[in-house]
Amino acid sequence: MLAAFPLLLLSALNSNAQKKVDPDSLVNEAKKTEVWEPVPAVVTPGKTNADAPSDAIILFNGKNTNAFQKTDGTAIGWKIDQLGILNVVKGSGYIQTKEVFGSCQLHIEWRTPLAIAGSGQTRGNSGIFLMGRYELQVLDSYNNPTYPNGQAGSIYKQFIPLVNASRKPGEWQTYDIIFTAPQFFSDGTLQQPAYITVLHNGILVQNHVAIKGNTEWIGAAAYKAHNAKEPLAIQDHGLDGGNPDSFRNIWIRPL
């Protein structure tokens, strides 16, 4: 804005030429709308947009799964391979964070299997559950027709993605998510819905949509009052074949 200052001042002088306005008085008037506090905290960005910034909580970096547990509180059954990739073990169940979160920025990288098995919803199916209940769908949606509000990038059974940004099976994909937690009145009724913005492989697929409620496979979504912070969960869709998905580089910034 500093570079534009002379032009703004010149414009102001020209428009006020007949009023004989002093330049110093214009500067003083401009200062009245300057806000100097609060000063934003300094956060060091990662080397790339995929790398965690300095204030992020690292949920998985290839070394261990200490941030996660099963939904019953026991150790997870998913496995880390020699490359530091977290792989779903069919039938081992969902995993969720030990720490709880509300509004957040989330980065997660995922990969569906190179070997194609199944079709539609039985091909590379998983899901990212914000607060354990609001699902962003993970699916192999590369040349794999299914109902659009259930494909990759959808808010499952609620919002179709703006575009299909899917990469080929076996290639790494990214979700960058901005999530605003819902708010409830003291009587449990909804005060403000949850909102979500999603970039899939760097492409906007959900633009600040108002989530309709808990993700449901059957029936309409509806809100049920819950805590201000809840675990983040990742789905094992182990009832079907073709879903040994993989994950890496998971980090979160509470907002």
Of the candidates 254, 247, 252, 255, the one whose C-alpha atom is nearest the C-alpha of residue 65 is 247
The pLDDT of residue 117 is 87
CATH architecture of 57-254: Sandwich (2.60)
The pLDDT of residue 240 is 62
pLDDT in tens, the chain (255 residues): 555 555 655 565 565 555 677 888 899 999 999 999 999 999 999 999 899 999 999 999 999 999 999 999 999 999 999 999 999 998 899 999 999 999 999 999 999 999 988 899 999 999 999 999 999 999 999 999 999 999 999 999 999 999 999 999 999 999 999 999 999 999 999 999 999 999 999 999 999 999 999 999 999 999 999 999 999 999 998 666 668 999 999 999 999
Task: Enumerate the domain spans of the chain.
Answer: 1-39, 57-254
The pLDDT of residue 23 is 86
Give the DSSP per-residue string, the chain: -TTTHHHHHHHHHHHTGGGT--HHHHHHHHHTT----SPPPP-PPPSSTTSPPTTPEEEESSS--TTEEETTSSPP--EE-TTS-EE--TTS--EEEEEEESSEEEEEEEE--SS--S-GGGSS-EEEEETTTEEEEE---SS----GGGSTTSBTTTB--SS--PPPTTS-EEEEEEEE--EE-TTS-EEE--EEEEEETTEEEEEEEE--SS--SSS--------SSEEEEE---TTSSS---EEEEEEEEE-
Q: State pTM to two decimals.
A: 0.89
